[in-house]
Amino acid sequence: MIESNRLRIAIQKSGRLSKDSQKLLKSCGVKFNVNEQRLIAHADNMPIDLLRVRDDDIPGLVMDGVVDLGIIGENVLEEEQLERQLVNKPAECTKLRELDFGACRLSLAVPNEFSYNDAQSLEGLRIATSYPNILRRFMQEKGINYRDCMLKGSVEVAPRAGLADGICDLVSTGATLEANGLYETEVIYRSMACIIQSTQTQTPSKQALIDKILSRVNGVIRARE
């Protein structure tokens, strides 16, 4: 394994969590400049390297011990944990704390003309989602059989395109659903961004740095409340 004395923190490269993740670390006193073309940003004033990656890669990088910390949506963390449990891959990590951004919910939604009573209305139907494991857990708990339509993007257009009867997708305001002639019927998971730590042994100096950052994160969030 490639050892590094510097603390590695994985954050989303570009997307809904990237600006808030960078802002949080800067508020904690970590000084760095991001070059959009580069994967790594080195902090100037602390032994910290930021790894800028796709959000979907962050839980796995932490669980495999490639990086020490990650800032990620709980939805992506939960999905990766369920996926890894299924294939017997290491799925452990420690959630240090929930953060104060990235709020969204994973919801079921159906076309406006669909008459929905409860989740049972979806029995035997096809549901498009990027979160097959969280969806499966919910549907199993309810005892509902359904068919998968796995899409990494454009989930909200699947019903209109005739690919699925309903969807299970992330919602924050509901504007995207409305724009696609869909309505939200059931929230199956509520999510915020969170900060996670690898369970693999840290050197005492890295652990001390993690403790320092976490205590600053607590202070920053308390001050913003």
Using CB under 5 A, list all residues that contact Zn ion.
55-56
Check residue 54 for interaction with ligand ATP (CB under 6 A). yes
Asked whether 197 and 68 are in contact (CB, 8 A), the reply is yes
Site string for ligand ATP, 167-196 (x = CB under 6 A): ---x-x------------------x-----
- Positive or negative, the CA dihedral 18, 19, 22, 23 is negative
Quick one: tokens of 145? 């059989």
Site string for ligand ATP, 151-170 (x = CB under 6 A): -------------------x
Degrees, nearest 5: CA angle 29-221-73: 95
Partner in contact with 75, chosen from ligand ATP, Zn ion, none, beta carbon below 5 to 8 Å by kind: ligand ATP
C-beta of 54 vs 95, nearer to ligand ATP: 54
Degrees, nearest 5: CA angle 17-55-67: 105
Partner in contact with 191, chosen from ligand ATP, Zn ion, none, beta carbon below 5 to 8 Å by kind: ligand ATP
Kind and range of the H or E element at 175? Answer: helix 175-179
> Judged by CB under 6 A, which stretch of 48-56, 110-118, 143-151, 178-186 contacts ligand ATP?
48-56
C-beta of 104 vs 213, nearer to ligand ATP: 104
Least Å distance, CB 175 to ligand ATP, is: 9
Residue of 105, 129, 103, 107 lying closest to 116 (CA atoms) = 107
**Nearest position to ligand ATP, beta carbon:** 73
Residue 122 CB burial class (10 angstroms; 0-12, 13-18, ≥19)? buried
Helix (DSSP H) and strand (DSSP E) numbers for the chain: 6, 11
From CA 71, how far away is CA 58, in angstroms rounded?
8
C-beta of 56 vs 64, nearer to ligand ATP: 56
Check residue 12 for interaction with ligand ATP (CB under 6 A). yes
Residues that bind ligand ATP (CB under 6 A): 12, 15-17, 54-56, 73, 75-76, 102, 104, 170, 172, 191
